[in-house]
Amino acid sequence: MKNDKANQSGALLNAPPLKTVLVFAVPIILGNVFQQLYNIVDAIVVGRFLGDSALNGISIAAPIMDIFYSLLLGVSIGVGVLVGRLSGAGDWEKLKRVHITTLFAGGAVSLLFTLTGLLFSRGILLRQGYSAESVDEAMHYLTIIFSGLIFCFFYNYLASALRSWGNSRLPFTVLLVSSVLHALLDLLLCGVFGLGITGVACSTVFCQLLSTLWMALYIEKKCPPLSLKGERLRPDLSLLGTIAGYAWAAALQQAVVTVGRFLVQGMLSPLGDTTVTGYNMGMRVEQFVFCFPQGINAAMVVAIAQNLGHGNTDRVRRFFYTNLKIMVALLVILGTAVFFLAPRLVGVFSGNPDVIAAGAKYLHIMAFLYILSYFGETIQSFFRGLGRLRLTMAASGGSILLRVGLSYLLVPVWGIGGICAAVVAGWCLIVFGFGSYSLYCARRIG
């Protein structure tokens, strides 16, 4: 079943790298933005309708939720690289078998994560020293979120598979509609019906289910290489090792970053709920800003995977160099905006001046240091596109270990400033420790 017409990646394989990345990345960036709006809208609605107690509950729940989300997202990213490689090579028969096997394996893993989250989350939060009231609020939210993890996986995987096949527009369209619906449901369930933090969680899960169904129907009608019509719906166990090889390292890389954030947040708990909440709201702003470089680099991953599968090694190198230049331009725009608008951005979530001050302090320190994160993301995305996912996991793991260790030493002395120093040190490890190797690999490709 080798048919180039089944692949929507002509531009990725032939057009100029700068134009290709920017055009392909726009839907991904917008999709990332609306994905972040899921969490941002939750925080705004909770903060404005339910007050600081509920906002603190959702803020301490977010890192635990993000750990599981990041694992599932990592699986999707990892398998997406394999889908891109097979699409570039035109091996549609193997792609179909990989797709079916991933659906079964990912669904099973999602159910395991649901059980794990329900059993252990409360104990973990209590051990971190949060108040019983905040933990109760967090668990109202997490119980529903965990119950819908399987829809989170199916949505993220189908979106990743479509992008890797060459279609970044449909995932964005689905996410756009889903995000608007999510915001409306938040206001309805929380603001009108008074369901509180439970209503916010129900809105999230329902929209993930709707997104999954929409993309599955689109695939059946418009994407033959991923369609399940007329196929034997049985996993190919011989492919599990290959799929796991792409999935596990990417999943652990994503999770390690989130676990690091969770541990660092716990170190702030002695400084009080307002500091923790302010830091988390600053992180929400940061994650929103990171949508732009992450979208550009996600486009590069697909481009590199497909061109490598197609044998276009010179284009692989050109995509990498182009992305490094784009990161510098992004910093000038985004870093300036974050630095000067920090209090207003944090103030969107809460009117508490202590919360705003804590979040703004974090953003003021970090704004122009984001260039290190941007370069680090590009370096890791380059290796991800090459399929060297274990290397990206090692880079992230080393960075997080350094970040957590330095936070433990510096937070008691400098508070949020200590976290900033630790995070920057972790970014430096990736940029200076793996950056030179990435340039060496780029020169040697082919």
- The pLDDT tens digits for 108-143 are 999 999 999 999 999 999 988 888 888 998 999 999
pLDDT at 2: 42
Is the alpha carbon torsion for 136, 74, 3, 1 positive or negative?
A: negative
Q: Which amino acid is at 139?
A: M
Q: Which residue type, as a one-letter code, is found at position 381?
A: S
**pTM for this prediction:** 0.74
The pLDDT tens digits of the residues spanning 61-78 come to 888 898 899 899 889 988
pLDDT of residue 196: 81
Tally of CA atoms within 13 A in the half-sphere of 3 that contains its CB: 7
Of 107, 77, 89, the closest CA to residue 216 belongs to 107
Give residue 376's pLDDT band: very low, low, confident or very high (50, 70, 90).
Answer: very high
pLDDT for 193: 84
Give the residue among 164, 162, 165 at the shortest CA–CA distance from 214. Answer: 162
How far from chain centre, in Å, is Cα 371? Answer: 19
> What is the structure's pLDDT at 4?
40
**pLDDT greater than 60 at residue 1:** no
Can you tell me the distance from the alpha carbon of 239 to that of 324, in angstroms, rounded to the nearest whole number?
Answer: 35
Q: What gap in Å lies between CA 153 and CA 397, rounded to an integer?
A: 23
User: Average pLDDT of 89-115?
Assistant: 94
**Residue 349 phi, psi dihedral angles, 5° rounding:** -90, -30
pLDDT score, position 248: 82
- Residue 10 pLDDT level (bands cut at 50, 70, 90): low
Kindly give the residue spans of alpha helices, DSSP state H, lying in 290-350. Answer: 291-310, 313-347
Give the pLDDT of residue 6. 47
- Residue 310, token pair as written in the block: 């197609």
| Contact assessment for residue 74 and residue 252, using Cβ atoms and an 8 Å cutoff | yes
Query: % helix / strand / coil in the chain, to the nearest 5?
Result: 90, 0, 10
Is the pLDDT at 5 greater than 60? The verdict is no
**What is the SS3 assignment for 156-223?**
HHHHHHHHHHCCCHHHHHHHHHHHHHHHHHHHHHHHHCCCHHHHHHHHHHHHHHHHHHHHHHHHHHHC
Domain positions in the chain are: 15-444
Least Cα distance to 359 among 297, 419, 427 occurs for: 419
CA distance 70 to 113: 12
C-beta separation of 59 from 277 below 8 A: yes
